[in-house]
């Protein structure tokens, strides 16, 4: 028991420090909220472990304990499944265009997640300089400019010619990213049945691919961007809820 509680207290202190840093550095979102919930849960167990263990030792408490761990296993399995599904359908270099999906901008600066997407897009462009890049993202709360504008500025500073970048600066969701980008590409001579790729972080690739197909892109592939170690857990936890929402509410309506 002593060894277990040493680990629990170490985890509780680590998560508390992590939550404080997120409160200072990160925009609030579902992933950050879930990390706060995880921190609160670990602290609750650290402070009241004797009472919790006694309740879970028999009767209804024992049943709830097993249901809790079954739910945790299912949740972890969903995170693994999302990672696996997001690793398929990689870009080949034959794509006519690449859609870079927006993410948070802090004032006028791109966030860490978005910078990784832009770096992946710039690397792909350097290998295939004929490809057309579409930066897609509107202006959200706390953002001084549309995400697409900040993304375009970043890519130009990285050496991508301005005439190779199209801006879609009205979208507010992944679904709109693809719908609006498709209309923009059509106006520039790229049809939805031509090969197109999208750039997003690996945890988001599966759901993004589904929305791309619903938008009418028939030959779509992914360019997965990396993700920082501190973002892995909150992003994958948040994505579990996003994918479940998509499966239950969006996919049946889209057909």
Domain definitions of the chain by residue range:
2-55, 97-254
CA separation for the pair 255, 244 (Å, rounded): 16
Separation of first and last alpha carbons in the chain: 52
| CATH for the 97-254 domain, from 3.40.50.620, 3.30.450.20, 3.40.30.10, 3.40.50.2300 | 3.40.50.620
pLDDT at 253: 79
Decide: helix, strand or coil at residue 119.
helix
Strand partners, 205: none
Task: Report the distance separating Cα 45 and Cα 57, nearest Å.
Answer: 15
Q: What is the pLDDT of residue 87?
A: 81
- Of 81, 116, 88, 90, nearest to 101 by C-alpha is 116
Which parts of the chain have pLDDT scores under 50?
Answer: none
pLDDT digits (tens, 9 = 90+) for 81-125: 999 988 877 899 999 999 999 998 988 999 999 999 999 999 999
Residue 237 and residue 79 in contact, taking contact as beta carbons nearer than 8 Å: yes
> What's the CA gap between 205 and 82, in Å, rounded?
8
């Amino acid at each position: 028991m002593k060894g277990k509680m040493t680990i629990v207290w170490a985890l509780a202190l680590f998560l508390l420090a992590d939550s404080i840093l997120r409160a200072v550095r990160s925009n609030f979102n579902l992933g950050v909220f879930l990390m706060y919930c995880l921190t609160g849960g670990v602290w609750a167990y650290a402070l009241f472990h004797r009472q919790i263990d006694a309740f879970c030792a028999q009767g209804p408490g024992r049943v709830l304990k097993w249901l809790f761990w079954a739910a945790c296993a299912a949740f972890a399995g969903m995170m693994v499944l999302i990672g696996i599904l997001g690793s398929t359908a990689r870009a080949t270099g034959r794509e006519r265009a690449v859609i870079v999906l927006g993410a948070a901008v802090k004032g006028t600066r791109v966030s860490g997640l978005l910078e990784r997407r832009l770096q992946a897009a710039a690397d792909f462009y350097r290998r295939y300089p004929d490809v057309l890049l579409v930066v897609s993202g509107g202006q959200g709360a706390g953002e001084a400019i549309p995400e697409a504008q900040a993304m375009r500025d970043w890519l130009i500073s990285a050496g991508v010619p301005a005439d190779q970048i199209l801006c879609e600066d009205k979208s507010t969701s992944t679904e709109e990213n693809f719908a609006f980008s498709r209309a923009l590409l059509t106006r520039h001579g790229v049809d939805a049945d031509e090969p197109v790729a999208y750039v997003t972080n690996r945890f988001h690739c599966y759901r993004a691919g589904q929305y791309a197909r619903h938008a009418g892109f028939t030959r779509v592939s992914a360019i997965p961007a990396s993700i920082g170690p501190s973002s892995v857990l909150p992003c994958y936890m948040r994505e579990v809820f996003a994918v479940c929402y998509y499966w239950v509410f969006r996919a049946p309506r889209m057909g």
